[in-house]
Structure 1
Amino acid sequence: MSLPELEPFLSWFQSNGGTIDLDAVGFKIFSAAEGGRGAVALKNIEKEQTLFTIPRSLVLSTDTSSLPEKFGLNDWKRRELDKGWSGLILCMMWEDAQASDSKWAQYLVILPTQFNTPMFWDEQDLKELEGTSVVEKLGKQDAERDFNDKVVPAIQSRPDLFPPESLSTYYSLERYHITGSRILSRSFDIERGATDEVSGEEELDGEADRSTGSAMDVDEDNAPAGVEDNSIQDDATGEEEEEDEEDAINVSMVPVADLLNARYGSENAKLFYEDKVLKMIATKRISIGEQIWNTYNDLPNSELLRKYGHVDVLPLQGRDEGNPADIVEIRADLVLSTYLERSNEAATTTSSHERIDWWLEEGGDDVFVVETNFDVPEAMISLTRLLYLSSSDWEKAREKGKPPKPRLDLQTSNLLGLVLQKRIAQYPSTIEEDKKLLKDEPGMPWNKYQALIVRLGEKRILNSTLQRLQTMVAAEKAKESGAQKRKPASQSSKSTTKKTKR
């Protein structure tokens, strides 16, 4: 079972070396809540069964498109089209402009041309996301800067490759945003294949990763038996290592693999790479009729909405619904401004900024992430205690190069409680108002509904974290009060006498 519009694409895929088990894998339109167009199991699929195989030659990237070579590799790099996504976007727009002459013509025609992501929302819809970090992460201004500073000059320099009459059709800013959204929502980060011949039987080398800003992520712990972990780690020890790792990874469009949808906790298939091919392999048994799910690495709704234009709504504890992976971001400057408001001294301001600069130089976070465990982030506690250090303790911390341990005390807890309250106040509505709106307006516009789900999830986390912190503070105060009441009168008298003698 395949959708009619996919038949030419699947024929192209198979005639160019791709293999797919069409007796086991079909494609259909699911409901919007289940991702729309996706893959379905036509029969029971066993764990570790290969669903389809993609030759690396069918992957669309800056390595496989002929544009960089035609443009001239030195000039391509001089214009920094080898950095970020601008080069891949230009390659995809150029391939699109070649129409039937492009190797990927049948693939490009099935890619979406419209997106529900906030990148394309109007100002009224974007206001619904006020208080969340979604809008500031859209990167629309950065993308347009790259378009104007890198892509447009490159296009204008080569009218032989980019005919002037085609510019408004294939190389407009709108097409640039659409192509960038295609990459954001559907690409994979793939380790570049080895150039040496592989002798003997090939083994699976590792997993095609979508964790560094491309589309879906992978969970390395669920790899089939025999798969080596060749994934890129985050603990590079220097800039040279980081550059080597970036060079080893190529953001790529992978035909057929990007047809799979994803949903929190539902992954049952994953893309792995070999030297010459990529393979989509079942990571668990999939029953007939089930959707075949890839994974977004269980992203929070804020990221799902930003990248893919949808949210996950699942049962939570109690009667609420939402995404168990939701998070809230709190900026370090909110902690600093709250502290300075309480201290209200010019000298403190100078010292605090000095401490913040040191914190950042030492690799401290400038954004703290609060999760559904409702714990105040340890780094946030440590920064707060750093601000409260005496001058002598601050000098010791700087000499040792170590910030304070993340230990909560009453002073720190009180300030963090104020920080959480201020973060909650950044939303224009309360959690009670949002819950009422969700209940009273079931037919609200889709964008408004999704924004509501995002901010509700964040407010639940903030409110629960604040309540937990306040409970801890109250318990600590009660403990201290009880200790004072139990203190013997003679002890209190001795203490007073000592103070008098001084």
Structure 2
Amino acid sequence: MATAGERPGGSGGGADGTGGTGGAAGAPFLAWLRSRGGFVHADIDLFADMGGGDRGVVARADIAKGENLVIVPTDCCMHLPADESDLSDPAPRAARHLVTSSPRPSPFLGSVLMVMSELAAGRDSPFSDYLAALPDDVNCVLGWSQAEKDELKGTTIDDSTQRSAGEAYASEVAPRVAARPDLWPPAAAASAERAAPAGTKTAGGSGGLDGLREFLRVASLVQSRAFHMEAQNWITGVREEGTELFLIPAIDMINHSTDPARRNTSLHKFDVRMEVEVDGRNVVFDAFFAMKADRDIRAGEQVLHTYGDLSDAQLVQTYGFVDLGPGGDPGMSDRCVGIMPSWCRRTGLSTWDLEATQV
């Protein structure tokens, strides 16, 4: 469980002169990203070990304000667009089917289904090196056991009135998976070796409990890593109703801080052809995401941005952490939520004695 604005999972990696490799999955991921036109500053480690099983992005040398930290072409992203004409090349296998299906799934469930399909494809997926670099587990509320969720009752993150993930899986996910075994092979779900959270059950459907396990894991990944963007036609530039979700490789590894003084970068999306200086040379990008150093970043400093103006309750529910402020001092956080004792024990916050408060 990450507790200070850090996305959980994965082991730290060493320095190799081209960004931290993050162990076995890191080097192939960086090679894949560069082969797809992406850029990562040579002096940042994408897989720095932050302790406690968490990882973050850290500067390995001083970086000046204005330098590009990460550039990711939109074709590198896993994304389910509003229109079939906006599919990336190559597109995830299930993307075209999901975009044209009726009824179309919500942006969130569509993204989860898309990622499940790519995971099932294994090394045949054009995104396999990216998926292999993602954490195995994300401890957001979506994956908690029912007993753990029961302890949320009476707090600002009580979700007892919401439909359970098992019901959503049985009614909206399992029927789609069963109808297209070519996109979601039953064998892939059946071979999943991940343990389901205690107390979860499925009402049936393709893959049974194994399918639900994989759904919960992938849904947690999408919930904790996807960026929400206003829907827009990339060709015409016309803004459309709704929200689109993007899984943005490398950029989704940068952690959050509630404190503006600690943040040193921000996310920008460009939908026009643009020439950008990268490593002393000009490179043309069509549509891309970019993060620059908003101020000078010192060697050893973590690269941080914001996931939005979110309360601690929203951070726990969506990402599985609370922002403890500078130095990890709970007293520095001015936004608190009543957190049940077992979660406090797991995250080392046993000294907190919080009551449910309005955030």
Q: Give TM-score, length-normalised by structure 2.
A: 0.71
| Alpha-carbon spacing, 1:23–1:168, altered in 2? closer, same or farther (3 Å) | same
The Cα of 1:264 is off from its aligned counterpart by 2.0
Measured in 2, the distance between the counterparts of 1:84 and 1:196 equals 21
Which one has a larger percent helix, Structure 1 or Structure 2? 1
* Aligned counterpart, 2:246: 252
Give the 5 Å matches for 1:274-289: 274-275=270-271, 276-289=287-300
1:313 aligns with 2:324: yes
* Aligned counterpart, 2:283: none
The Cα of 1:124 is off from its aligned counterpart by 4.7
| Alpha-carbon spacing, 1:31–1:72, altered in 2? closer, same or farther (3 Å) | closer
The Cα of 1:26 is off from its aligned counterpart by 4.9
Measured in 2, the distance between the counterparts of 1:448 and 1:135 equals 21
1:31 aligns with 2:51: yes
Match of 1:324 among 334, 338, 341: 334
Give the 5 Å matches for 1:207-246: 244-246=240-242
Structure 2 SS opposite 1:291:
coil
The Cα of 1:12 is off from its aligned counterpart by 0.7
> What is the Cα-based RMSD across aligned positions, in Å?
3.4
Q: Name which one, 1 or 2, has greater alpha-carbon Rg.
A: 1
| Alpha-carbon spacing, 1:167–1:54, altered in 2? closer, same or farther (3 Å) | same
The Cα of 1:281 is off from its aligned counterpart by 1.5
1:445 aligns with 2:345: yes
Structure 2 SS opposite 1:4:
coil
* Aligned counterpart, 1:52: 70
1:71 aligns with 2:82: no
The Cα of 1:296 is off from its aligned counterpart by 2.6
The Cα of 1:55 is off from its aligned counterpart by 0.6
1:20 aligns with 2:40: yes
| Alpha-carbon spacing, 1:305–1:447, altered in 2? closer, same or farther (3 Å) | same
1:176 aligns with 2:215: yes
Letter in 2 for 1:323: S
Letter in 1 for 2:318: K
- Contact 1:299-1:326 at 8 Å conserved across structures: no
* Aligned counterpart, 2:315: 304
* Aligned counterpart, 2:171: 149
Structure 1 SS opposite 2:78:
coil
Structure 1 SS opposite 2:70:
strand
1:95 aligns with 2:118: yes
Match of 1:194 among 234, 256, 261: 234
The Cα of 1:7 is off from its aligned counterpart by 1.2
Give the 5 Å matches for 1:410-489: 445-446=345-346, 449=349, 453=352, 456=354, 458-459=356-357
The Cα of 1:72 is off from its aligned counterpart by 7.0
Which one has a larger percent strand, Structure 1 or Structure 2? 2
* Aligned counterpart, 1:261: 255
The Cα of 1:102 is off from its aligned counterpart by 0.5
| Alpha-carbon spacing, 1:282–1:457, altered in 2? closer, same or farther (3 Å) | farther
- Contact 1:298-1:325 at 8 Å conserved across structures: no
- Contact 1:58-1:254 at 8 Å conserved across structures: yes
| Alpha-carbon spacing, 1:138–1:89, altered in 2? closer, same or farther (3 Å) | farther
The Cα of 1:27 is off from its aligned counterpart by 3.2
Percent identity (aligned): 25
Measured in 1, the distance between the counterparts of 2:324 and 2:120 equals 39
* Aligned counterpart, 1:351: none
Corresponding residue pairs, total: 294
Structure 2 SS opposite 1:180:
helix
Structure 1 SS opposite 2:43:
coil
| Alpha-carbon spacing, 1:43–1:149, altered in 2? closer, same or farther (3 Å) | same
The Cα of 1:113 is off from its aligned counterpart by 2.1
- Contact 1:128-1:448 at 8 Å conserved across structures: no
* Aligned counterpart, 2:104: 80
* Aligned counterpart, 2:274: none
Structure 1 stretch displaced more, 62-71 or 2-11: 62-71
Structure 2 SS opposite 1:449:
coil
